[in-house]
Amino acid sequence: MNNGSAIKKNKKSKLDAIFVMVVFMLFVCCLLLVTLAFARVYKSSSEKINDRFDNSTAVSFIMKNLRSYDRADSMSVAEYEGKSVLCLYETIEDSEYVTYIYQNDGMLCELFADSHFPFSADDGEVLLPCEAFSISIKDNIVSFSVTSGGKITDQRYFLRSNAERTV
């Protein structure tokens, strides 16, 4: 009879071990599923944050430049190579320079050059991803639109000086 009870105990211990292994495997599978779900949410959130960062940084950059150049006869809006371009003028040691801010090939770009230097969109420094950029000045109000990451942001800035330059 000891043999029979030993076999039952042995079968029971094997069943207990199999049950523990199945429960452990279920736990590992659940843990893996939760990890994958959180990874997907993190990736989605990260992409949205990066898109918002690019858009808000582009708007902040343009606003900073508008504030910096808000003085008489220091800015204009032009169209070069079919692109809307913000032109910011300054004089350094009796020479006039211009900073161009524009969108080129899906990027917001900036070009600082002598005002006699011909504009070429490919010469500028790439700043940020930007799908579209447009700007206008009317009655001392600068209106611009930036599209980055599929998000369109329209902004307006009131010039405190008579900054608009007639070209």
Domain residue spans in the chain? 1-167
pLDDT (tens digit per residue) in 5-35: 656 666 777 888 888 899 999 999 999 999 9
- Closest listed residue to residue 65, CA positions, set 96, 28, 109: 109
Are residues 107 and 124 in contact, defined by beta-carbon separation less than 8 angstroms?
A: no
- Which residues, 6+ apart, have CB-to-CB distance to 97 below 8 Å? 89, 90, 91, 112, 113, 114, 115
- Closest listed residue to residue 56, CA positions, set 157, 149, 159: 149
Question: Is the per-residue pLDDT at 164 higher than 70?
Answer: no
- Which residues, 6+ apart, have CB-to-CB distance to 127 below 8 Å? 58, 61, 107, 108, 109, 110
Choice between 5 and 62, residue whose per-residue pLDDT is larger: 62
The mean pLDDT value of the chain amounts to 86
pLDDT (tens digit per residue) in 76-109: 999 988 889 999 999 999 899 999 999 999 999 9
